[in-house]
Amino acid sequence: MGTLLSWQLVIVLALFLNGFYSSELESPDRVTDPISTSIDTQRTASTDKPVPTKISSVQHESFCINIYESQEIKNKKKDYYHSPITVLKPDNTVRVTNNKLKIRFETSNVAVKTKVLDRLRGLISQEIMLNQVEVLPYESVQLISKVESPDFTLINKSIPNGDQLNFELLCHTKENCERVRNELHICSIDGVEISKNYEMSGNVTELLIKLQNFLDDKFEEKRHNITEETKDLAAKVKILTDKIQTTETNLTETQNKLKNTEAELKNVNDLTTKLNENLKNIDHKLEAVEENLRKELGVGATSATFDSTKMKQDLGNAIDAVAELTKKLNARTSEIVDIGLMPTSCSDLQRIGHKLNGFFMVKNYRKMETVYCNFYPNNNFIQKSIGYSDVKSKPVYFFVQRSSKFDTINKPIQFQMERGNEGDAFDLKTGKFRAPRPGIYFFSFMGLADFLTSSKVLLGVSLQLNGDSVGMAYVDDVNTTDRKSTVTIQSTLKLEKDDRVWVEITFMESSSLIGNGNPQTYFTGFLLEEELSPTL
């Protein structure tokens, strides 16, 4: 009697990968089907090849495909692998020939490799080509029937490595093969993986029980999840209930406060009425007092007449005093003018509105000057100079050091350590200072000359301004034996914006600037006085 295959029944194809890969490799399970193709991997690791490393995974249709990176490098490139799939070939997938049922599977295809390649290019910055992506190598694949059947026999249980797997099932009669082919469920033949595992089975009841148990487990899991979600919802409802109760309490308190406020307003209205009545009474009393005062003043009018002459004299004196004050006020009041520039004198300060005597800063040609201004002098004096003020728009200074030997002539001495460089005017790489603004600058250089054993030694350095020497110092000696001598330069220079200043060795003989790891060569400078722009 032949074996009946139907949509509800499942055929299990067990693919065993025999190779050197570790237990980390997993089967590409279908995420949409609780029953997936079983791919078991032997756990025996090879000793002659390194184990590939799992680095990611990618979803292809309903497959979850693992991605591995080879630990071997060939031609400066690495190979990448993906776990095999079990997809029915779309062309001539299941056919019967000479009582043989032939089934053809794919373990890889271009679509899978392309999706793996896209994921790798998103993970790895280097260029990866499609020929670097292969299916995970394996020695063979076995098709195993878990249930023996007298009507069917597996011919090729072990299939060699390859992207295409061809299995053959020997049927005792052609009708058995035709029945299997017609009843075999295929989800899709356009490259999508088989959605059910198929098992050669003669015991239908056992399979249905297993399927029912599986569905019961899934239902129990779903019920548990719903219970947990219900608990969370109940907790949220309780929180909302507490908030509503709190809101109701707050509303009750607010209503009570409003009632109290209304009562207080009523009391205020009563007090206002009483206050108005009291004001009326006070008005009547004031009218009576005013009438009494008028009567009393009428009696004293005669005595007041005798004092009128003195009051007129006092009034005349007050008028004269007011006239004098008016004259002085007019002398101190003038129209305020916008001169359009920074004030350069006390007269400018007076024109822009200053009236009080005191010390002020005014702009000289290129400097700021402190003056004392007397805006209302008794003589011709109005301005007295006190002195110049040290005003800088921004500070500029630097201090750099060198700890290694230097023995190059006519080249700026380069420094290695920057102790301070306010204004970023000194460049360590070039050894040059660039003036960020015009003004008077001070510079100081000190170095330690290292004299070798010789009959005559000397070393000279110069301070350079835009390529011209503006200062020089040198040290020399005769019949020396490993001696040292200090050479220094100090200078005060008037610089324009972007002028360059540096120090270089002008000449030397049997000598150099010492370099023993200690910072014994230094160069420092700072802005003494800034020249302001005449246009300010």
pLDDT mean across residues, the chain: 76
Look at 198 and 58; give whichever has higher pLDDT.
58
- Bigger pLDDT: 214 vs 415: 415
Percent of the chain scoring above 70 in pLDDT: 71
Q: Locate tokens 């250089």: which residue?
A: 445
pLDDT of residue 307: 65
| Cα separation, 494 vs 531, whole angstroms | 10
Using a 10 angstrom Cβ sphere, with 0-12 exposed, 13-18 middle and 19 or more buried, the burial of residue 104 is middle
Predicted pLDDT of residue 494: 95
Whether residue 363 has pLDDT greater than 60: yes
Query: For 288-431, where are the E strands, in sequence order?
Result: 358-363, 368-373, 383-389, 397-402, 417-422, 426-427
Report, as an integer, the average pLDDT of 288-302: 72
Q: How confident is the model at residue 212 (pLDDT cuts 50, 70, 90)?
A: low
Of 105, 102, 95, 119, nearest in space to 37 by CA: 105
Q: What is the mean pLDDT of residues 458-466?
A: 96
Q: For tokens 């006190």, what's the residue? A: 386
pLDDT in tens, 424-457: 999 999 999 999 999 999 999 999 998 888 888 8
Selection from 275, 299, 93, 276 nearest residue 184 by Cα:
93
Write the CB contacts of 430 (distance below 8 Å, at least 6 apart in sequence).
412, 414, 502
pLDDT at 299 over 60: no
In the predicted structure, residue 186 carries a pLDDT above the cut 70: no
pLDDT at residue number 198: 33
Side chain identity, residue 88:
L
The DSSP secondary structure of 127-159, one letter per residue, reads ---GGGEEEPP-SEEE---SS--TTEEES--EE
Beta carbons of 374 and 382 less than 8 angstroms apart: yes
CA 114 to chain centre: 35
Q: Give the model's pLDDT for residue 274.
A: 84
Secondary structure class of 477 (helix, strand, coil): strand
Residues 6+ apart with CB under 8 A from 499: 434, 435, 465, 466
Q: What is the pLDDT of residue 328?
A: 62
Among residues 368, 449, 372, the alpha carbon closest in space to that of 413 is found at: 449
* Region of poorest pLDDT, from 104-118, 297-311, 331-345: 297-311
Lowest mean pLDDT among 5-14, 128-137, 286-295: 5-14
Specify the range with the lowest mean pLDDT, choosing from 20-24, 164-168, 366-370, 376-380: 20-24
Give pLDDT, residue 100.
75
Tokens for 110, please give them: 């271009």
Of the spans 2-6, 27-31, 291-295, 513-517, which averages the highest pLDDT?
513-517
User: What pLDDT was estimated at residue 111?
Assistant: 87
Q: Is the predicted pLDDT of residue 184 greater than 80, yes or no?
A: no
Q: 96 or 236: which carries more pLDDT confidence? A: 236
Q: What is the pLDDT of residue 355?
A: 79
Instruction: Compute φ and ψ for 499, nearest 5 degrees.
Output: -65, 145
Rounded to two decimals, what is the model's pTM? 0.38
The DSSP annotation for 398-435 comes to EEEEE-S-B--BTSBPP--EEEEEETS-EETTTTEEE-
Apex 200 CA angle, 199 and 202, nearest 5: 120
Amino acid 32: pLDDT: 31
113-172 pLDDT, tens digit per residue, is 899 988 988 888 888 888 888 888 766 666 655 555 666 666 665 666 666 777 777 777
Please give the full DSSP string across 201-253, using - where no structure is assigned.
Answer: -S-HHHHHHHHHHHHHHHHHHHHHHHHHHHHHHHHHHHHHHHHHHHHHHHHHH
φ and ψ at residue 452, rounded to 5 degrees: -85, 170
Q: Which residues contact 383 (CB under 8 A, 6 or more apart)?
A: 345, 346, 347, 371, 372, 373, 374
